[in-house]
């Protein structure tokens, strides 16, 4: 597999640290609000990366943090007259609701910054001891000049960065690029006891510390939205590598923005739609298809029109799935014919192309086109005269290729249909066992619910009265 590494600006062969394991850390949300469709893209993209690794046989340790202490958290908690802790608890719950609804797999661990306070304080202490950080009146800063490789991720040196950066002028810092890793308490702020007095950690240090604690000194992949490459990830690298003397992450992945009218969707621009409100109107399959139909490194534009056309596309895929599910019950032949065995090879060629595209830096855009081609082929070639085995193979393949993208897993049958079919199956079993009282009971119970069973030469059929 090949991954575009932001660090080298090249696609590189993916070589994991351990044989079959991928250790990845993704920067997660600040839990002060519902997440929007822009954030959702980042979560969906890296969920897809993780699912695809799993599809290819890797075991994935997937860490995504919750930032539950920072300026935005404090401000919002004050506005809502609540504590930072309660605000975090609440929006972590809301995060899981939306993420689950978007079919995002749960992370191996979602660490909360406030639960790693002791470890973060130790990390800061270590950096001071090693001469990479200094304290001034309760604030601790990272000394960027001391870290030789500062700027390597964004490909700039300290001088360029200083010239281009809009940074707070703080006379107390040794260098304008130095950044706070520990902040002394201001009035009304939540704070933790530390060797430098009451205070709280800076944002960057939490990720360095939690990645180190949960995944070790060097990790395979570090990921996040492209706005995080500088300064967040640059600062994480400085802290972590200063601390361990080892490479922090072997591959850096950044996903591009969701825009609205060519501007980044963001809370501050107030041009956002929450995942929650979009999920009320659109199926998760539609939202994921929309997000994954562009390559993860290209920006995508959000609009209701695009969602509507994606919805129509998703319906085409599900029509085909529904057709195959119905065919499975209706076709008469069981086993593959010789001709069908050849056709299976054609079907498999789609899977090979799909894998080739996904192996090439997770090209979900092309992978989705291949699924559409596959479905078109199946629609033309699989029908009432096909065997059960071919129908099943086709259906399983469509679902198999949808799974890494987190789509196409739903059954098109309603719960009622599924339940009736299960009861019919149980009745058939009872009849085989000559348990006539059970088989009659199942038929009568269904009849009482308005469902009539008919025994036909093609098997049992049911209809509503
Ligand atoms: P935040 O809660 O703002 O820290 O963001 C959580 C994640 O969403 C980060 O990885 C951001 O880079 C990402 N993100 C924020 N806005 C967008 C956007 N418009 N498009 C894609 N990703 C975004
Ligand atoms: Zn982070």
225: Cβ below 6 Å to ligand 1? yes
pLDDT, one tens digit per residue, over 195-240 is: 999 999 999 999 999 999 999 999 999 999 999 999 999 999 999 9
Low pLDDT (below 70) residues in the chain: 163-169
In a domain, 131, yes or no: yes
In a domain, 288, yes or no: no
Same domain, 83 and 214: yes
In Å, how far are 199, 285, 339, 344, 393 from 335, measured between CA atoms?
Answer: 70, 32, 11, 13, 11
Same domain, 453 and 346: no
46: Cβ below 6 Å to ligand 1? no
pLDDT of 169? 63
Query: What's the predicted TM-score (pTM) here?
Result: 0.91
Same domain, 54 and 124: yes
Residue with tokens 């519902």: 34
Same domain, 30 and 48: yes
| Domain end (from 255, 278, 295) | 255
Question: How many domains are there within the chain?
Answer: 3
| Domain end (from 255, 271, 293) | 255
Let me know: does 239 contact 124? Beta carbons within 8 Å: no
pLDDT of 464? 83
Same domain, 50 and 69: yes
207: Cβ below 6 Å to ligand 1? no
Ligand 1, atom 15: closest residue by C-alpha: 39
Using N-to-C axis directions, what is the helix angle for 415-432 and 436-448, rounded to 10°?
A: 160
Same domain, 7 and 115: yes
Range of the domain at 7: 2-255
In a domain, 269, yes or no: no
In Å, how far are 19, 32, 77, 206 from 68, measured between CA atoms?
Answer: 34, 8, 11, 10
| Domain end (from 354, 382, 405) | 405
Ligand having the closest approach to the CA of 207: 2
Same domain, 23 and 162: yes
pLDDT of 156? 81
The DSSP bridge pattern shows strands 179-184 and 219-225 to be unpaired
Let me know: does 278 contact 290? Beta carbons within 8 Å: no
In a domain, 456, yes or no: yes
pLDDT, one tens digit per residue, over 271-309 is: 999 999 999 999 999 999 999 999 999 999 999 999 999
Same domain, 362 and 220: no
29: Cβ below 6 Å to ligand 1? yes
In a domain, 16, yes or no: yes
In a domain, 62, yes or no: yes
CATH for 388: 1.20.120.640
In a domain, 290, yes or no: no
Which strands make up the sheet holding 179-184, listed edge to edge?
133-136, 139-142, 179-184, 199-201
CA of 333 to the centre of ligand 1 (A): 52
Q: What is the largest CA-CA distance in the chain?
A: 90
Ligand 1, atom 9: closest residue by C-alpha: 225
Let me know: does 228 contact 27? Beta carbons within 8 Å: yes
Same domain, 66 and 148: yes
Please list the alpha-helical segments (H only) found in 130-196.
Answer: 158-164
Same domain, 372 and 435: no
pLDDT of 167? 58
């Amino acid at each position: 597999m090949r991954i575009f590494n932001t660090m080298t600006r090249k696609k590189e062969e993916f070589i994991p640290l351990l044989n079959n394991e991928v250790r990845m850390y993704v920067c997660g949300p600040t839990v002060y609000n519902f997440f929007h469709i822009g954030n959702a893209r980042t979560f969906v993209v890296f969920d897809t990366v993780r699912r695809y690794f799993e599809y290819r046989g890797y075991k994935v340790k997937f860490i995504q943090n919750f930032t539950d202490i920072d300026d935005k958290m404090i401000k919002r908690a004050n506005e809502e007259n609540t504590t930072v802790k309660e605000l975090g608890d609440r929006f972590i719950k809301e995060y899981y609701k939306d993420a689950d609804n978007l079919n995002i797999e749960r992370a191996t661990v979602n660490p909360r910054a406030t639960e790693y306070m002791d470890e973060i304080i130790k990390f800061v202490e270590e950096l001071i001891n090693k001469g990479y950080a200094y304290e001034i009146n309760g604030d601790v800063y990272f000394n960027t000049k001391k870290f030789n490789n500062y700027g390597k991720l964004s490909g700039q040196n300290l001088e360029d960065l200083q010239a281009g950066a809009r940074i707070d002028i703080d006379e107390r810092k040794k260098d304008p690029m130095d950044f706070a890793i520990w902040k002394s308490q201001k009035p009304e702020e939540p704070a933790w006891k530390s060797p430098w007095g009451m205070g709280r950690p800076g944002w960057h240090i939490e990720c360095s510390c939690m990645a180190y604690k949960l995944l070790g000194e060097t990790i395979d992949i570090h990921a996040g939205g492209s706005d995080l490459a500088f300064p967040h990830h640059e600062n994480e690298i400085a802290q972590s590598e200063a601390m361990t003397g080892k490479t922090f992450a072997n591959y850096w992945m950044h996903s591009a923005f969701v825009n609205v009218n060519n501007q980044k969707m963001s809370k501050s621009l107030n041009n956002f739609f929450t995942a929650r409100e979009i999920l009320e109107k659109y199926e998760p399959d539609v939202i994921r298809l929309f997000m994954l139909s562009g390559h993860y490194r290209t920006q995508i534009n959000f609009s209701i029109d695009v969602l509507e056309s994606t919805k129509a596309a998703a319906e085409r895929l599900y029509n085909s799935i529904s057709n195959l599910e119905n065919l499975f019950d209706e076709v008469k032949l069981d086993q593959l014919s010789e001709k069908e065995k050849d056709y299976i090879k054609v079907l498999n060629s789609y899977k090979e192309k799909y894998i080739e595209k996904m192996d090439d830096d997770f090209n979900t855009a092309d992978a989705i086109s291949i699924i559409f081609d596959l479905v078109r082929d199946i629609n033309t070639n699989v029908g009432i005269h096909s065997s059960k085995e071919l129908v099943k193979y086709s259906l399983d393949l469509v679902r198999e290729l949808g799974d890494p993208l987190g789509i196409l897993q739903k059954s098109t049958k309603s719960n009622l249909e599924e339940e009736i079919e299960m009861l019919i199956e149980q009745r058939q079993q009872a009849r085989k066992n000559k348990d006539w009282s059970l088989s009659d009971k199942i038929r009568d119970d269904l009849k009482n619910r308005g469902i009539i069973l008919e025994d036909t030469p093609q098997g049992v059929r049911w209809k509503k009265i």
